[in-house]
Structure 1
């Protein structure tokens, strides 16, 4: 028998992935300790786990993987070969379609006569309240990207315009926006993408109540608090136009007690019919809904109601914590529309989460 840690090491699947596949009924342990809940796997399950890992790396849907594993166990080679061939054809068609679309996009880029540039000026110097800037950074830090293939998302956008500093972070699956009042800018717009380590160093300076000074000079940015400072180079990438991305279709809004909703998410059911993976990490899907009476419920798996919205549970928990209010406004639209979390006393601070498509 192998422990779950040994199974993870020998199969190439992570411990979290093995837990997901157990809950989804794809690779169920041979024995589970009734007291500790610890999982143990039989000798014959290692081959299944390695096969499962290969199929997931090839992008095969979980429903087909179940059939492949069943055929493999039953020595039904015709079934297995047929499923593998069908998936390969799907991949080839998808690759062909993607190549056509990217060819068109490259042609459009080559023929653009006036490429878009970010609205940066040479210098900007502003003064800000340390607590306000700290709160703004805390409200968006959780949504920053960490994918090295998307370096433009590996920082926090500082967008200075008039008497406002807007800070924005996104990893494509979620976005957070917050604002702090600023003085000293002449009204022209200046943007700087501050890398995460520098943004974290800036946040560490914001301990007192005295105003702080933020300076952007070319590709350099500096935050000064008393005789201390955090300075460095901005990311040499344009940040996505967040103003376009936050134009959401109108949805149903409800005022929720943040602590109660967090408790409901942590204790409530998760969607067990599909294992979800995002950039190599597995996550739980919670199904939420605004009821007719204006309450928010975390739904049972299998209740395929058109008003149900699937969401990455960990992301929603982080967004609720970053909201930093006892009460928050939850906004739900269609199951395909982003979910929004807003502060009732500050419309300028909010986060949006992309929904998870629920499989029937």
Structure 2
């Protein structure tokens, strides 16, 4: 007999997915311990579990999966073949429809690019607090993208307003926003995307207490301090409208001690059987929830709370480190909404982590 953990590792289905398929009657364990409720599977069920994993990865609806499994174990191979072919035809039809929609979207985008006026080229000069700018860059740098197919996300947005400089970074799966005080710019708001290597060069210079001077002239961005200068070309791409992405529904807030929480995440359970691929790399999940006493709990595999949220563990640890405080506020909305990680004393510096859907 195989334990549920062994079945998960050998089949490619997550532990939570195996529990789900048990509850729905798709793949029922051969034996369930009447005292502990622990599930045990017959060795012959491994083939069915692997087949189930393949069918679900192919996006087959659960109702059809039931019939395929029933036909697979019986003599009705014609039914299985017909169901597989029908699903393949649906996938091909859906792909054709998606291509048509994307073709239309590309035409609309080309039309917008031809009708919009050219980008305004202006010279911007401002002065910023060195400690504030350093702290702001430290708070967002971890969220820069390294995806070569999305060059517009491979840097930090400098969003310049009359009395503030906001810096923003995102790789789609996480976003970080921070603010530094600024003076000297009296014109309209200007946005400049600074490539990550230039951001790192700027950060290396911003170590003192004296104000620093930032300028953007055409396609060049320059930071000057008493110790030197970092200058380079800005990215010739528009950054997403981050302001539309940071307004989240009001959620439940929990204050965490960073040292204690980091230790709980680092040593706590992960969904190792639910390894996913993001940007071509596999990663583990930490599953979180707010307990009744207001503490944030790292859930184990046996916790089926509907309000738990799964996030990339490495991203979570990065965001905690970038928070730069002994205590941070974690804000949870619905399980499909991002988790917000905020500073108790600074509402304008925060990180957002996209949730990861757990397999069922």
Cα distance in 1, alignment partners of residues 8 and 210 from structure 2: 52
Secondary structure of the structure 1 residue equivalent to 2:305: coil
Q: 1:114 to 1:293 in 2, by over 3 A?
A: farther
| In structure 2, C-alpha distance between the alignment counterparts of 1:339 and 1:223, rounded to whole Å | 33
* CA distance in 2 between partners of 1:232 and 1:215 (Å): 11
Q: How does 1:96-245 map to 2 (within 5 A)?
A: 96-112=96-112, 114-115=115-116, 121-245=121-245
CA distance in 2, matches of 1:84, 1:158: 51
Q: Which residue of 1 aligns with 2:264?
A: 264
Deviations 1:233-268 (A, max 9, x none): 000000000011111111111111111111111111
Relative to structure 2, which stretch is displaced further, 81-90 or 136-145? Answer: 81-90
Paired residue total = 309
C-alpha distance in 2, partners of 1:247/1:117?
29
| 1:173/1:87 CA distance change after superposition, 3 Å | farther
TM-score (norm 2): 0.76
Give the whole-Å Cα distance in 1 for the aligned partners of 2:153 and 2:208. Answer: 29
| TM score, norm. by length of structure 1 | 0.76
CA deviations 1:209-255 (Å, max 9, x no partner) are 21111111011000011141010000000000001111111111111
2:36 corresponds to: none
Equivalent residue runs for 1:7-26 within 5 Å:
24-26=9-11
Q: Which moved more, 1:261-270 or 1:91-100?
A: 91-100
Query: Which consecutive unaligned segments of at least 5 residues does structure 1 have?
Result: 1-20, 28-50, 65-69
Q: Is the 8 A contact 1:164 1:179 kept in 2?
A: yes
1:162-181 Cα shifts (integer Å, max 9, x gaps) = 11000000001110000100
Distance 2:97 2:170 in 1: 28
Q: Is the 8 A contact 1:143 1:175 kept in 2?
A: yes
User: In the aligned structure 1, how far is the partner of 2:213 from the partner of 2:204?
Assistant: 14
Give the Cα–Cα distance (whole angstroms) in 2 for the partners of residues 196 and 85 of structure 1: 48
In 1, Cα distance between equivalents of 2:284 and 2:61: 18
Q: CA RMSD in A?
A: 3.5
